[in-house]
Structure 1
Amino acid sequence: MLTINVAVLLAVIVVLRLRRRTHSRSRFDEKMTVVIVLALGIILAPTDVGQGIAGFIGQLVSGVSQAGQ
């Protein structure tokens, strides 16, 4: 039996959609890409990978804000 991880599937779809040329996209196509990216974020957020990414970004933002002071 073949199982597909939804997060991996959405990540592949995002990569394929973002590889397309910018000027050939319609507004609907851009909105669909945003919806897919948001769905990917919602799926990844409660996972260990999502928490690790959030922690890394938090540390990066903290370091940048402290360096600016």
Structure 2
Amino acid sequence: FIKDINSSNGTFINGDRLSPEGMEFDPWELQSDDIVCGANSVPTLSVTTRYSTAVAARVFCMFNGQDLQIAYRSE
């Protein structure tokens, strides 16, 4: 599960934002092959320019050795 706790820039699962800005929603159950992305926007010295970074990860749900082998084959 993943939960966005009032972030201003959002947490995204497969391109969909988990919750509107400033709102907290129930935890979201992640599935295999989900893409999780979070963004961070930092003001710079210029009022018109912002520096943005993003983190993204692909989810693999593994419950046993067979799931692990399938995950390695899909890379």
> Structure 1 length as normaliser, TM-score?
0.24
Higher relative contact order (CA 8 A, sep 6+): 1
Normalized per residue, which structure has more strand? 2
> Structure 2 length as normaliser, TM-score?
0.23
